[in-house]
Structure 1
Amino acid sequence: MPLQTRPRWALLLLTATLGAAHAQATPLTLDAALAQVNRAPQAQAAALTLQKAQADLNSAQAALGLNVAANGSGGYTAAGGLTLTAGVTATLGVLPWASAQSTLRDAQARLRLAQLSAAETLNATRLNAATTYLNAHLAQLDLDLAAQTLTLRETQLANVTAQRADGNATQESVLNATAAVQTARASVATATATLDAARRSLAATLGTPLDGVTFTSAAPDASAPGDVDALIARARSTSSDVVQAQADVTSAQDALASAQRDRTLPDLNVTARYGANGGGLSAGLNLKAGTASVGYSQPILTSSANSTGSASGDPSLSVSFSGGVNLFAPAQDGQIAGARTQLAQAQLALSLAGQNLELDVRQKYADALNAAAALTVKTTQLQAAQQALATAQARADSGLATPTDVTAAQLAVRQAERDLEAARVSAYTATLKLQNAAGGPQ
């Protein structure tokens, strides 16, 4: 068999040991299984988290605009009588430390993290589905191989039993052949259980039943790993762990800046008003809160004990301000010290996250190279098994070997084909793991 040709075991279904169930089986390809990943429970949960983060960002963006509120006031005094006033006020965060600005930055960071987490979840689910599918495919090959091995061992036992009856074999040989049959039967049972477990695992991953399904796709060829430094650089920009650590640093920086403002910034409020008789235009600025406001109010009822109706008066401009500054505030000084410590911890965590990420990518890169090397070894071993089969066939044609010897050599070739397919699976999944560590397929 040419080396470029995939082992025929990659195309075999279950053997006759599966009986009628095999005849009714529905083939499932690897591509068809991976196409269902987006509907998997894990992927759907990540998508919902992403939707929530997007909704939070939309809400934060809306909060940046004007907040308009209607208001009213009223009062009664014996001297001034009854007064009712209605108005409207618009408030806007104008300074970088306004709460709406901070909320927006937090929402943007959470959305970015949710996007990366959703992508990682999808990639991890795809890896899990691919690995489980290919394990099920290998389990099918193992079951088929175990069934054929059992047939060979039963033939060998029959031959040894016949030789024993003729006095040409010992009882020990019969017992050894019997043990080989028992081992082969156990292998069939083990392969059957492994296939069932892989089927159930894939069904749980995809969230869909897979009863009566066979796994017909062989492992795809593994792609080249690429440049490890480029993979590390890409991983740093797409890893949710690193991005989360960066967000924690930013949050700690904001907390420190906020604590310092609370300690040093004057609590200043400036208000300007133009109007008469309690009505007119007003504007204000709250320095510490970082917000500005404008408003308009209009008396709607002014009365006194001697008269009712609207009062008149000349409009006037007034400006007022109030403020205070902390001279001695040990509690706030303690908050600043705590915020500095939190920032240092966040920066250390970011450094560790970057180091762990690099180690993980380099390890998976080495695993991919090792899997590719193992694939070469298994290819050579298949060549050796094919040569041994050719030799056994030639010896049988010359009367120097039995048909059982040829069958054993054929079984050895099929075992080598199965081992080569397992090496392909390892190489393919190692490449997927490396891609996931570097942010997913490109």
Structure 2
Amino acid sequence: MTTTQALPLAPARAPIRLRATLARTILEQVLDRVPVDAVLPDGSRLGRSRTSESEPNGIRPTVELRRPGAFFERLAHHPKIGIGEGYMAGDWRAAPGTDLADVLLPFAERLATAIPRPWLALRQFVDRAIPPEQRNTETGSRRNIEAHYDLSNDLFAAFLDETLMYSSALFDRTRPVQGQSLEEAQLRKVHAILDEARVGAGTSVLEIGTGWGTLAIEAARRGAHVTTVTLSREQAELARDRVEAAGLVDRVDIRVEDYREVRGSYDAIVSVEMIEAVGEEYWPAYFRGLDRLLAPGGTVALQAILMSHDRFLATRRSFGWIQKHIFPGGLIPSLRAIGEVTQQETGLRVTHVHAFGHDYAETLRRWRATFLAAWPQVQRLGFDETFRRKWEFYLAYCEAGFAAGYLDVAQIRIERAA
């Protein structure tokens, strides 16, 4: 049985009880600013939680606090992690008739205003530093990647489409999105980034972050010769099988190798949602590596999750639920940060950006629906109910971030300065 780490609470000491009372007070004030109702076990509502006349039909998302005492203690221990861990433990849930992402969306839309300004001064006391073991050294990167991507190929296959692309799809916005399959939209994304990198017949391509091989296969079908590197042995094994099944072994070389170990010269370098796993400390080495590996006249194309520069500066040193439970060592950059490090460390410059964050919200919505529908199959792989709630929260949390515009995703073309 693959079990998720238990989430026990230590016996509440007096300081924790005091902080739990404070956490409840702050949450009550937040709920006065955010159109979400919170219902206690006795049927009463937390805080004033008035229904807003501005909401359609006076209805708005509702959560049930099933174990409010335990939930407030989790918030007291760590506000940034306690909300997600409270969901994992079953301390709260979306009320019947309310979708989890609909609960999280109003908070994501009001990140800058939800917490009353006087309470923001407490941030320095609740933010925790990123644990040193999550640093993306060569050893640490391998450990961080294995913690997520080597969970099980069968797990990912249960909720991804046939392409096995675990990154944002790109929908055709000239047509109704609901009429487009996820597979179609994922292949559109792959070919869009290959176009950004100018990949064609005879192109030598380096892919950093293999996934399960779809991009390498599609590049090879264009007549390119592809070297693709990953730190996930499970991904590499399945990607090799898929490349062989496609009859492209002579055009695709899959290596279990750190990007820092790669040598050679490539006409195109492509990387889809891998920069988030590099870590700010290693961005200079990462971009210097791209510069070193890129042949004269070559092109780099990255697909990157992004946040605003202000939010990046506010969160870059803190440790959150996603880093603890989903992507250890992860950090989302801003477009400005990418531009600054490339300018300071390399001769590379950003020359084109295509953002499509709302497509990621739709991608995540479909992944979550498929994951929940496939839960009996996933459970047979050995995953427990805490894992189910963890991944449901992860997918809904990210969906809300992209739907609110707090997060974005973009394909970024990078070339050498003229």
With the length of structure 1 as denominator, give the TM-score of the two structures. 0.21
| Larger fraction in helix | 1
